[in-house]
Structure 1
Amino acid sequence: MRHTKNEEPAIFNLQNSQFKSAYFNLVHHPLEKQGVDFWWIDWQQGGARGQNKVDPLWLLNADHFQDSELRHPGEGLILSRYAGPGSHRYPVGFSGDTVASWESLKFQPYFTSTASNIGYTWWSHDIGGHMRGTYDGELSLRWLQFGVFSPILRLHSSNNIFMGKEPWNYEQSIKLAMVKLLQLRHKLVPYLDSENYRTHAEGLPLIQPMYYGHPNDEITYHVPNEYQFGSEMVVAPITTPTDSETGLASTKVWLPKGTWYDMVTGLTYHGDRFFTTYREMTNYPVFVRAGSIIPMTKNYMSSLNQLPQEIELKLFTGEDGEYEMVEHQGEQVAKTVFQWHEKQQRLTITTLDAQDLVPVDRRYSVTLIGSEGKVERQTATEVAFQDYRITDQSEKVASLIKSRLQFAKISFEEKQSIWKMFISRNRGDLLQFLSTIENDEIRGMITELVEK
């Protein structure tokens, strides 16, 4: 009590056992009883390190995690700054106070994916920017699109009533797009949880630079804003504003060999090539390989405290495929293997559930991407299709080209000329005509859809 009576400061020193006991037992544990779920360890870096002194931030990360894990097994969650190599063992990390700017957003995908190079797989960023900047709904929307396909989804801003990143702080079109994105994130929980379990069990990062999967392809070292998102997706975030003439934003993409689908439009793209992709404000470049199976919740409002009774499977057809969905409650784990047999037009479902976690009345709905077919037979272990055929994408491509021309700020005569060449169905003549267009963006937004 001497320090209290004399109003002497308590020297912060987690290497002192008495201080450490008071720090947790007298300060933090009572606050947790009042409702604090986890702690954000911020701004405690110490410059002095040596044989007898450890960086206080590193100690805070380790001690807070161990204290939480001891008292609440399986819930040792904290958020913290980077504390040097090895600190990935304890906290969810974050990239510091980002500035609300396009330059800042442009750096985040590279920063997030390469954090995996030192084991920091659960890395987060201040979605929309933490400080400074000006109101920019497009910037915030593009940042949220990247955030949905990040390890941690965390909207954040400084203590400024005008900087809030909630959807209702933006104009209607931006607001609605943000709401759909947040709903999509919740629907993706079965996929995210499966991939995060593999991070926990096997050390496989949810986000990986492209050279992880394709180390012998030189180009993968030159697409810093592109990354693998789990085992099934490739994401190329848009980090630049909309072009004034096309009304579209663009980004460079390299896809590995094979057939790929745009997750949003369902259009197919041929891999083993480098190209520029263009997207409307509410669209974003996420590509899924043919044969992939993405498990999602059917209802975005479903509780995360219990396993869902209904799972929606997005099945990207064209190749055989297999995906293992992992679910857990506490230390208990259930695994379900989905196998797609393209020639047999049949999906098999095998549940490996020793703890009876999966609801006995679970239902699966299957959405085919790239093909069409009617469900001929469905049981708890199999879904078979009939009248199966590849979807004709020509109408969808024509509609998208017409839409892009409609909103482009070029002359009506030039729009008409491009459209006439397109509907002539002569691909060679169209590409030759497009090569004469001086505006790179106008030429590129049509060429992408013709050459895909």
Structure 2
Amino acid sequence: MESAAAQPEATIERGNVRFTVLSPRLIRLEWSADGRFRDGRTQVVVHRAVDVPPFRLVEDATTLHIDTGTLHLRHVKGTGRFDAANLEIAVRRHGGGDIVWRPGDVQLANLGGTYRTLDRYDGDTWQDGTRLPLEEGLIARDGWHVVDDTDSFGLDDEGWVLERPDGERQDLYFFGYGLDYRAGLADFASIAGPQPMPPRFVFGYWWSRYWNYSDDELRTLGARFEKERIPLDVLVLDMDWHTTPGLSLRPGLEQYDVFGQQSGWTGYTFNRSLFPDPAAFMRWAHGENLRITLNLHPASGVLPHEAKYDAMAQALSWDTSTRAPIPFEGTSQPYMRALFDTILHPLERDGVDFWWLDWQQWPESRSHPGLSNTWWLNHVFFTEMQRDDDRRGLIYHRWGGLGNHRYPIGFSGDSVISWTSLAYQPHFTAMASNVLYGYWSHDIGGHTFHKHIPRAERHLEPELYARWMQLGVFSPVLRTHSAKEASLHKEPWHFGPPWGDAIFAAIRLRYQLAPYIYGAARQAYDTGTSIVRPMYYHWPELDEAYLHPSQYLFGDDILVAPVTEPVGEDGTVVAPVWLPPGVWYSRDGAEAFEGGGMLERAYALEEIPIFVRPGSVVPLYPEGLRDLASVPDTIILQVFPGHEGSTTLYDDDGTSQGYQRGEFARTRVRSRRGDRAHRVHVDAMDGDYRGRPRTRSYIVELLDAGIPERIEVNGEALPYSASPAPRTWLFDTSSLSIRVDLGTVQLDTAHDVVARFAPEHALPKGLLHRMRRAEFAVRYLKQVWGDISALPEDVNLAGQADRVLAYAVEHGGDDGRAQRFTEAVQAFESRFAGLAASVAATPINDAFKRTFADLVGR
């Protein structure tokens, strides 16, 4: 390992104090009674040898000044411990009005961090009425934050725990970022380590249920996923995969660990009544491109019933004559080495891909009081996986405190099944990015019911689950899980229409978004800005960015405001959204909205309030993926309206640590749109890695585009086709988009796509939204009105506008296509304007008429 010490030219040491300038916004402040300072790794800080920023040092016999341009530190020499009398730091702000900090100052507006678990919480309220005790985050509206690393344990060159240094000390890191929150997080990542990229499969769908599954049941489950064409990447096996003698023996014969706790949770030996041949089961899973993770509760040590008890005892020279349990101690290097070598690594060779660490016992190490067992186990298991070979580290665990961002991913525990829990999780997830913990995984759908709900009345509302799955699409990890209740099913096929349709659509959308999500994961590694981040990262000067915590940015370009309330009788729910200044587009490009205020729209079950920056280029995979084990040959570049925009496609091998060594590739895509032409330029791929493709198929999708007069690729005109085909273009009237299929192209060369338009054939603003409102309203009318034979023709035609427009595009040849389409659009607009009046003239119930008119008008 490289040294954790700072560059010599960054440090200023004067007797019992040492200052280290780590960035223009970050200074380390040390005071030591004996004049000794710590340069090694700690739990929180693992790297200080950053590039030294320019700074100015001025001092005389009594006072020392350090000026970085952003920070101005003033210290009175020889005055002992840092306090308000001998140290202050001013943070300069644009426009004047410096922020001044002194030791002992209390932060007034910290923006929150995260917490170990949501076990038994209904939203942020526990079953006894107490509120979630959130930890502080690294950023605050105060403009500064101090990380106190004085009491952190150290880490040696092998990553093993070291005792805290003796003597009186202070070891503080002052972050002065003003409102540049992302810069503050980047500074923390520079010294505490980046957020590692998980393997690509992590971003697929995880199936998890607390259930005593058998080998045969899991194979049947996998077959049903395949039959239903639902993609799946991870199978999670909860506690019942292993034997638990402490719960199975007759009263009086229970087995206890050395601490006197009944050992019903700890286990390392497969239950052969459920898994007769575990290795064969895991070979099947891998053959289906499924990853396997097993639940571990290691607190009871290794008990004598375990298959590997004797091997573990021999490795530790443990006396087996009494058949006593081998006690757990996570900070014992011999114990953990023996546990890995004799028990866990053999299971990995049989097929376990990573471990679910479900530590719920005593909070601190018994041999190192003050060291969180959660923090330490996360560190040990993750670093062991990286040490084993070139695989990316991956565990599945709870939050253990600052520095644990280096060990993804987290699971938030057993939250209560309720709309309140659903409403709180977007806020909880986004806040965690304030401590770089960017990979929370929630029990989608909630875990358990309120304890006061009678068992006979416990059921999962289909609409609640569908909305939770929609949140899961725009979460770091999409994982369903639930308590061991026979009635608590979350299999997608368990739900009929319309909820099942919404659940299936959510899973498909997640897989389509995988390249966008994976690129955001790389950005999190590079910058410290997580995939899910609060609005105030981008609009820190606006009060409104702090007042709507349930909405967030998902990557750079997508704003999400999950629906967290049930629909009304008309099948919609009004969801207010704060749109930041500027123009925003709905996810399908159907509507443009001027930001800078609140937007209230009605959303049906299948609709999610998602908004995209103008000009954004969102990379997608085509529908039909089975898993993320390999990258599809085709990428769809979905280009939103807007004058200009860009994105960078990110690629690597998806599994190794090579991405940290420069083994990856990027492809820049730029979009520029005017009145007469829309150009999309795809650069040559830059970079290399193991398995890098040399060719790829691109489909460029221009949203809300109107009918073009000509499509060119690299200067060559492409023909129109009514069905998808390489080297052609088509117009999709269901989305009002142009789809240009470039076919298979070389990635080492650039490609230029140009759509040319006649201004007189431009689309009316909001046309697609009106088409969908009409379709939804007519569908509603057919459901509630028994006699629909008297529906006016205009109503029937308006309800299927995309089909009517499609016939206008497809009939005849190229000549006049744009004109026929424009005339069909004008006819729809006329029908739409008269829809409410047409229905009002029918003998339908007045309440139905009002609802229909309301739906059309939204």
Q: TM-score, normalised by structure 2?
A: 0.47
Partner of 1:16: 332
Residues 187 and 349 from structure 1, CA distance in 2 versus in 1: closer, same or farther, beyond 3 angstroms?
same
Match of 1:346 in 2: 679
- AA matched with 1:249: V
TM superposition shift of 1:174: 2.0
Alpha-carbon offset, residue 307 of structure 1: 3.5
Residues 1:41 and 2:413 are matched in the alignment: no
State the partner residue of 1:364.
698
Tell me if the contact between 1:184 and 1:300 (Cα under 8 Å) persists in the aligned partners: no
For the residues of structure 2 that align with 1:388 and 1:193, how far apart are their CA atoms?
Answer: 38
Structure 1 residue identity aligned to 2:511: H
Structure 2 unmatched runs, 5+: 1-312, 450-457, 715-749, 786-829, 836-850
Q: Which residue of 2 aligns with 1:214?
A: 539
What displacement does 1:398 show?
3.7
* 1:405 positional shift: 5.2
- The whole-number CA distance in structure 2 between the counterparts of 1:159 and 1:150 is 24
State the partner residue of 1:129.
446
Deviation at 1:96, TM superposition (A): 1.5
Distance verdict in 2 for CA 1:108–1:387, change over 3 Å:
same
Give the CA deviation at 1:370: 2.0
Q: Is the 8 A contact 1:302 1:308 kept in 2?
A: no
Matched, 1:30 2:346: yes
CA positional deviation for 1:60: 0.8
1:334 has 2:659 as partner: no
Mapped partners of 2:651, 2:397: distance in 1: 27
Of 178, 183, 201, the residue aligned with 2:526 is 201
- What one-letter code is carried by the residue in structure 2 that aligns with 1:353? D
Q: Which residue of 1 aligns with 2:72?
A: none
Matching residue within 541, 546, 566 for 1:241: 566
Q: Distance in 2 between matches of 1:442 and 1:88?
A: 50
Q: Structure 1's 69 and 198: CA in aligned 2 closer, same or farther, altered over 3 A?
A: same
One-letter amino acid of the counterpart of residue 377, structure 1: E
Match of 1:71 in 2: 388
Residue type at the aligned position of 1:91: P
Task: In structure 2, give the amino acid aligned to 1:29.
Answer: H
Say which is worse superposed, 358-367 or 117-126, in terms of deviation: 358-367
Paired with 1:141 and 1:195, the residues of 2 have a C-alpha distance of: 25
Deviations 1:324-357 (A, max 9, x none): 1111113221100000111352111113433276
- Displacement of 1:57: 1.5
Aligned partner of 1:339: which letter?
Answer: R
Work out whether 1:284 is the aligned partner of 2:617.
no
SS of equivalent residue, structure 1 residue 32: helix
Shift of 1:162: 2.6
Deviation digits for residues 290-316 of structure 1, max 9, x if unmatched?
A: 100001112442663444321111100
Classify 1:169/1:68 alpha carbon distance in 2 versus 1 (closer, same or farther; 3 Å): same
- For residue 345 of structure 1, give the secondary structure of its aligned residue in structure 2: strand
Tell me, in whole angstroms, the C-alpha distance in 1 between the residues paired with 2:626 and 2:755: 28
- Per the alignment, residue 105 of structure 1 pairs with 422
Structure 2: distance between partners of 1:395 and 1:191 = 27
Are 2:471 and 1:146 equivalent residues in the alignment? yes
> Relative to structure 1, is the Cα distance of residues 258 and 102 closer, same or farther in structure 2, using a 3 angstrom cutoff?
same
Equivalences for residues 150-229 of structure 1 within 5 A: 150-229=475-554
Q: 1:68 & 1:303 partners in 2: Cα distance? A: 23
Code of the residue aligned with 2:667 in structure 1: it is: T
| In structure 2, distance between residues paired with 1:326 and 1:403 | 38
Change (3 A) 1:388 1:317: farther
Counterpart CA distance in 1 for 2:463 and 2:592 is: 27
| Structure 2 counterpart of 1:316, one-letter code | F
Q: Secondary structure at the match of 2:385?
A: helix
* Stretch of structure 1 that moved more, 401-410 or 125-134: 401-410
Root-mean-square deviation (Å) = 3.1
Give the structure with the higher percent helix: 1
Distance (whole Å) between structure 1 residues aligned to residue 555 and residue 683 of structure 2: 21
> For the structure 1 residues 265 and 353, does the alpha-carbon distance in structure 2 shift closer, same or farther, using more than 3 Å as the test?
closer
Residues of 2 paired with 1:220 and 1:333: CA distance?
Answer: 35
Percent identity for Structure 1 against Structure 2: 32
Structure 2: distance between partners of 1:74 and 1:443: 58
Change (3 A) 1:308 1:404: closer
Instruction: Return the alpha-carbon distance in structure 1 between the equivalents of residues 533 and 775 of structure 2.
Output: 34
Alignment partners' CA distance in 2, 1:77 and 1:281: 35
Paired residue for 2:833? 423
Distance (Å, rounded) in 2 between the aligned partners of 1:163 and 1:353: 48
Structure 1 residue matching 2:320: 3-state secondary structure: helix
Paired residues of 2:467 and 2:564 also in contact (CA < 8 A): yes
When normalised by structure 1's length, the TM-score is 0.86
Q: Does 1:275 align with 2:599?
A: yes
> 2:816 maps to which residue?
none
Unpaired segments ≥5 residues, structure 1:
412-419, 426-440
Indicate how the Cα distance of structure 1 residues 7 and 120 shifts in structure 2: closer, same or farther if over 3 A, else same: same
Aligned counterpart in structure 1 of residue 581 of structure 2, from 236, 257, 264: 257
Q: Kindly state the Cα deviation for residue 167 of structure 1 after the two structures are TM-superposed.
A: 0.5
Q: Distance in 2 between matches of 1:410 and 1:150?
A: 36
Whole-Å separation in 2 of the counterparts to 1:187 and 1:397: 22
For residues 403-443 of structure 1, the C-alpha deviation after alignment (integer angstroms, 9 at most, x for no partner) is 565538999xxxxxxxx9x8379xxxxxxxxxxxxxxx999
Per-residue deviation at 1:373?
Answer: 4.5
CA distance in 2, matches of 1:295, 1:82: 31
CA contact under 8 A between 1:314 and 1:369: conserved in structure 2?
A: yes
Task: Report if aligned partners of 2:590, 2:766 keep a CA contact under 8 Å in 1.
Answer: no
Provide Cα deviations, 1:27-65, integer angstroms capped at 9, x if missing partner: 211111121111111134533469933222111100000
Aligned to 1:417: none
Deviations 1:369-427 (CA, angstroms, capped at 9, x unpaired): 1222446222451111122664324554444444565538999xxxxxxxx9x8379xx
Matching residue's letter, 1:240: E
Specify the alignment match of 1:381 in structure 2.
751
Amino acid paired to 1:261: Y
Q: Distance in 1 between matches of 2:758 and 2:401?
A: 54
- Number of equivalent positions: 429
Q: Which moved more, 1:386-395 or 1:221-230?
A: 386-395
Contact 1:373 1:386 in 2 (8 A): no
Residues 345 and 388, structure 1, Cα contact 8 Å, conserved in 2: no
SS in 2 for 1:30: helix
